[in-house]
Structures are given as C-alpha cells and as structure tokens.
Amino acid sequence: MDSFKNILIFKILSKYRSMRETYAHQGFFYFESNISKIDRIGNGFLYNHEEIPPLDWRKLKGKELYKVYRELSNRNFYFYRNINGKFYKTRPKKT
C-alpha cells in the first residue's frame, strides 16, 4: 500500500472518530450516494451496499478513499437515532 492511501485511511478514520464523538453515535454513518457500491462506514470499516462483511482497506482504490473522505468532511451522510423507541434518519448540519 502506498503512502497516499495510508494517509487517506488515517484521515478517514480520524474524521469518523470525531463524528462519532460529535454526534454521540456508535452505529453506522450512511453516505447520501454510494461510492462504488460503498454505502456506509461503521466501527472503523467500510461496507458495500447490503453486504455484511467489511471491505479490505488494501483492496480499495485511492480515488474511492478520497471520495469517502470528502463525503465525511462535507457531512454528506446520515445516521439513525433512536428517539422514544423509534428510529429517525438524522442528517448533520452542513458547515
């Protein structure tokens, strides 16, 4: 794996951890639009649409990783929040 991909993975995971703390959410963050079938991030892993096992970071292309980082940075994602026993789709405010 080259250094560019390593830097992107580090930045994606850092951004994911900060968003988890900001929104006090431990579940998945779903992207507004799929990135080459990648539709969510959770527990430090990326997942394909409707698949259970996580993706291998080494098999992802740099372009895909950059798009994931850009979506997290621009807050183009949503998550489900449990309010009074019902789950509501929650989108963060754009900055």
pLDDT digits (tens, 9 = 90+) for 24-66: 999 999 999 999 899 999 998 999 998 999 999 989 999 999 9
φ, ψ for residue 54, nearest 5 deg: -70, 160
Classify residue 86: in a domain, yes or no.
yes
30 near 79, Cβ under 8 Å?
yes
pTM of the entire predicted model: 0.88
Total domain count for the chain? Answer: 1
Classify residue 64: in a domain, yes or no.
yes
Residues of the domain holding 76: 3-90
Classify residue 45: in a domain, yes or no.
yes
Classify residue 95: in a domain, yes or no.
no
**Residue showing tokens 């639009």:** 33
Classify residue 40: in a domain, yes or no.
yes
